[in-house]
């Protein structure tokens, strides 16, 4: 490494600034405990496979987590699994999504939950999302939910035949996170008869008389099940304590789920006067939607695209991660065959360039660079890129600004290859694209409907090579055309030799 930088010449790293949905501004971030950030992310409702829009929410939280780690903090990150309580309607009416799925598939709720939880964890692993410090499962916390509800019930709740409801007028500034209380919007969504205010919501839903639910618990308000919003208040409090640092979710949660959590947290803490502005978490952060041509991608609409279907089409999951990183988390992102195809091509170029660098590298020091060491020792041509990258991700996780800096670093001429790889490895700690560990061959996923096996493709290419050696160009062209016809791109002069053309319809 170059010794032209001495520690006292180090650039000061950029202060971390994050958008807070509470203030609607990008504010300087500091955790409550120095150097330790506590994050809670609303997890999936496991009645179906996560669609790509849901997964965008977890690529966002992973970018947040990796950025906090990059800034030298320890992070405790909780993601919950919602296996009870989320209703098919945003109002407190309709079926529990889990009950409905179990009925439709003639399975037990527990089987449904186990299946889709496992599938979700597989998605998380495929996207190289760091597993949370802990997964909390809603049904493991029902006794704590009942205790929580018992504490807030006297001053904040009222009972109807259908359950225990939270009176949203008992807390100050209800709905502030959503930009103010919007009774008209709540009234539009099918109110439950007897509610005092349209924005009141269920804390506990009683099982209808004569109907046995698959999942129900005894409570002071009768047999039933907890409301969805209660879960997150209880689990975040149990695992992180209130207030903690950052609560995340998709932007839809900014309107109902999170304002309701905040109302419960205020009621439980009873500290609305002593601590004005107490919400349970100091930062509330929301990712924008993944949209397709039909609008917001959603599970209830059906026809959604899952990560599994993308993999079946021959698209490596990290291409979807790269697609997400190419847009700022607060912007809408359009998903289409073209956008994900372009992300796959971009990923292939990156991996090919890194492979080239690795083949020319002398040492292995790039495998685990320490940022402070890099700062002090990096080649003068690379050092500004490190600072710019740091500034980009510190500026409310501006990954679309960070990615071109990675590409710039790769393309820089006349810098030692090992140092370049060091810098790329450092960038990848924040980006999570596995740039140094995957190869282009790993990116070549066989589409589910492939007409040939990889071995058969290789055999055909060997036959083509022999034809060319015999100067039988007609046969060589015929073999190539037949391969192209069957979805195989032949790459003359490239050591990889061939690739599948993803089948994105």
Binding site partner of 232, from Zn ion, ligand AMP, none, Cβ cut-off 5-8 A by kind: Zn ion
Stretch binding Zn ion (CB under 5 A), from 20-28, 232-240, 286-294, 372-380: 232-240
Q: Please list, residue by residue across 150-163, b when 16 or more beta carbons sit within 10 angstroms of its beta carbon and e when fewer do.
A: eebbeebbebbebb
| Alpha-helix residue ranges (DSSP H) falling in 191-336 | 228-240, 257-269, 307-312, 317-325
CB of 298 to ligand AMP, least distance (A): 6
Measured from the CB atom, is 70 or 201 closer to ligand AMP? 201
296 binds, among ligand AMP, Zn ion, none (CB under 5 to 8 A by kind): ligand AMP
Question: Cβ 256 to ligand AMP, closest distance in Å?
Answer: 11
Q: How far is the CB of 41 from Zn ion (least distance, A)?
A: 8
CB-based contact 203:166 (threshold 8 Å): yes
Min dist. Cβ of residue 27 to Zn ion (A): 22
Q: x-or-dash pattern for ligand AMP, window 275-304, by CB under 6 A?
A: ------------x-xx-----xxx------
Q: Would you report the helix, strand and coil content of the chain in percent, each value rounded to 5?
A: 45, 15, 40
Q: How far apart are CA 495 and CA 488, in angstroms?
A: 15
Instruction: Please return the burial class of 143, using the count of CB atoms within 10 Å of its CB with bins 0-12, 13-18 and 19+.
Output: exposed
Instruction: Tell me whether strands 488-490 and 498-500 are parallel, antiparallel or unpaired.
Output: antiparallel
| Burial of 34 from C-beta contacts in 10 A (0-12 / 13-18 / 19+) | exposed
- Interatomic CA distance for residues 245 and 305, integer angstroms: 33
What is the C-alpha separation between 51 and 297, in angstroms, rounded?
8
Establish if 73 lies at the interface with Zn ion (CB under 5 A).
Answer: no
Residues 48-87 that bind ligand AMP (CB under 6 A): 53-54, 56-57, 82
To the question of whether residue 206 is assigned a binding role by annotation, the answer is no
Instruction: Tell me whether residue 85 is exposed, middle or buried, using C-beta atoms within 10 angstroms of its C-beta: 0 to 12, 13 to 18, 19 or more.
Output: buried
Tell me: is residue 301 an annotated ligand-binding position: no
Cβ proximity to ligand AMP, 4 vs 331, nearer residue:
331
Residue with Cβ nearer ligand AMP (46 or 164): 46
Least distance to ligand AMP, CB of residue 101, Å = 12
Contacts by 89-96, CB closer than 8 A, 24 or more apart: 89/189, 89/190, 90/189, 90/256, 91/186, 91/189, 91/190, 91/191, 91/192, 92/162, 92/163, 92/165, 92/192, 92/201, 92/202, 92/205, 92/227, 93/190, 93/192, 96/213, 96/215, 96/225
Which residue in the set 232, 392, 425, 457 belongs to the binding site for Zn ion (CB under 5 A)?
Answer: 232
Short-list 202, 2, 206, 187, CA closest to 92: 202
Among 16, 22, 39, 42, binds Zn ion (CB under 5 A): 42
Closest by Cα among 129, 146, 158, 104 to 50: 129
- The residue (of 42 and 246) whose beta carbon lies closer to Zn ion is 42
Distance CA 303, CA 301 (A): 7
CA 489, chain centre distance (Å): 32
Rg (alpha carbons) of the chain, rounded to whole number: 26
Nearer to Zn ion, 128 or 236 (CB): 236
Shortest Cβ distance from residue 406 to ligand AMP (Å)? Answer: 24
Do the annotations mark residue 42 as ligand-binding?
yes
With respect to ligand AMP, which residue has the nearer C-beta, 54 or 279?
54
Instruction: Kindly list the distances between the CA atom of residue 107 and the CA atoms of 98, 110, 113, 303, in Å, as whole numbers in the listed order.
Output: 10, 8, 10, 22
Of residues 16 through 45, those in contact with ligand AMP by CB under 6 A are 42, 44-45
Question: Using CB under 6 A, which of 27, 159, 173, 252 touches ligand AMP?
Answer: 252
Dist CA 214 CA 111 (whole Å): 12
157 appears as a binding residue in the annotation: no
Scanning residues 118 to 137, which ones bind ligand AMP (CB under 6 A)? none
Residue 126 CB, nearest distance to ligand AMP (Å)? 17
Applying CB under 6 A, what is the total number of residues that bind ligand AMP? 18
Number of residues near Zn ion (by CB under 5 A): 2
The distance of closest approach from Cβ of residue 457 to ligand AMP in the complex, given in angstroms and rounded to an integer, is: 36
**Near Zn ion by CB under 5 A, which window of 38-46, 198-206, 397-405, 456-464?**
38-46
- Is residue 62 within 8 A of residue 129, CB to CB? The reply is yes
Is 198 an interacting residue with respect to ligand AMP (CB under 6 A)?
no
253 sits near ligand AMP (criterion: CB under 6 A): yes
Q: Is 232 annotated among the ligand-binding residues?
A: yes
User: Which DSSP symbol is given to 209?
Assistant: T
Binding region for ATP: 299
Binding region: 42, 232, 257, 261, 299
- Where on the chain is the footprint of Zn ion (CB under 5 A)? 42, 232
- Where on the chain is the footprint of ligand AMP (CB under 6 A)? 42, 44-45, 53-54, 56-57, 82, 249-250, 252-253, 287, 289-290, 296-298
Binding region for Zn(2+): 42, 232, 257, 261
């Amino acid at each position: 490494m170059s010794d032209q930088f001495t520690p006292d010449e180090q650039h000061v790293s950029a202060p971390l600034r994050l958008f807070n949905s509470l203030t609607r501004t990008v504010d300087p971030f500091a955790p409550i405990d120095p150097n330790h950030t506590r994050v809670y992310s609303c997890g999936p409702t496991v009645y179906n496979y996560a669609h790509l829009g849901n997964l965008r929410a977890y690529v966002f939280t992973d970018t947040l987590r990796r950025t906090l780690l990059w800034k030298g903090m320890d992070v405790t990150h909780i993601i919950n699994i919602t296996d009870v309580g989320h209703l098919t309607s945003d109002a407190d009416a309709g079926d529990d999504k889990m009950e409905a799925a179990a009925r439709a598939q003639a399975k037990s709720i527990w089987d449904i939950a186990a299946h889709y939880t496992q599938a979700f964890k597989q998605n998380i692993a495929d996207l190289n999302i760091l597993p949370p410090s802990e997964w909390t499962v809603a049904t493991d916390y029902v006794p704590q939910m009942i205790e929580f509800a018992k504490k807030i019930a006297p001053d904040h709740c009222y009972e109807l035949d259908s359950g225990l409801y939270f009176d949203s007028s008992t807390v100050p500034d209800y709905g502030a996170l959503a930009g103010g209380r919007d009774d008209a919007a709540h009234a539009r969504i099918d109110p439950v008869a007897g509610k005092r205010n349209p924005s009141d919501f269920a804390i506990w839903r009683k099982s209808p008389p004569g109907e046995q639910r698959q999942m129900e618990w005894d409570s002071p308000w009768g047999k039933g099940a907890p409301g969805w919003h209660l879960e997150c208040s209880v689990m975040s409090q149990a695992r992180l304590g209130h207030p903690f640092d950052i609560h995340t979710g998709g932007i839809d949660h900014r309107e109902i789920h999170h304002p309701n959590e905040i109302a419960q947290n205020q009621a439980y803490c009873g500290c609305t006067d002593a601590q004005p502005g107490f919400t349970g978490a100091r930062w509330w952060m929301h990712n924008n939607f993944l949209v397709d041509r039909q609008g917001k991608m959603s599970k209830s609409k059906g026809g959604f695209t899952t990560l599994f279907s993308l993999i079946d089409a021959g698209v490596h999951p990290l291409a979807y991660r790269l697609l997400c990183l190419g847009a700022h988390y607060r912007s809408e992102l359009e998903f289409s065959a073209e956008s994900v195809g372009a992300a796959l091509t971009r990923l292939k170029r990156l991996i090919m360039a890194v492979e080239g660098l690795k083949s020319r590298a002398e040492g292995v020091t790039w495998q685990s660079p320490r940022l402070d060491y890099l700062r002090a020792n990096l080649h003068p041509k690379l050092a500004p890129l490190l600072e710019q990258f740091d500034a980009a991700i510190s500026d409310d996780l501006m990954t679309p600004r960070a990615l071109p800096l990675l590409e710039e670093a790769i393309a820089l001429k006349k810098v030692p290859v090992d140092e370049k790889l060091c810098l790329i490895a450092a960038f990848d700690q924040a980006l999570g694209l596995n740039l140094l560990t995957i190869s282009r061959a790993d990116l070549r996923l066989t589409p589910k409907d492939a007409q040939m096996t990889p071995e058969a493709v290789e055999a055909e290419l060997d036959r083509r090579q022999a034809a060319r050696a015999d100067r039988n160009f007609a046969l060589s062209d015929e073999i190539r055309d037949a391969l192209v016809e069957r979805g195989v791109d032949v790459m003359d002069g490239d050591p990889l030799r061939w690739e599948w053309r993803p089948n994105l319809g």
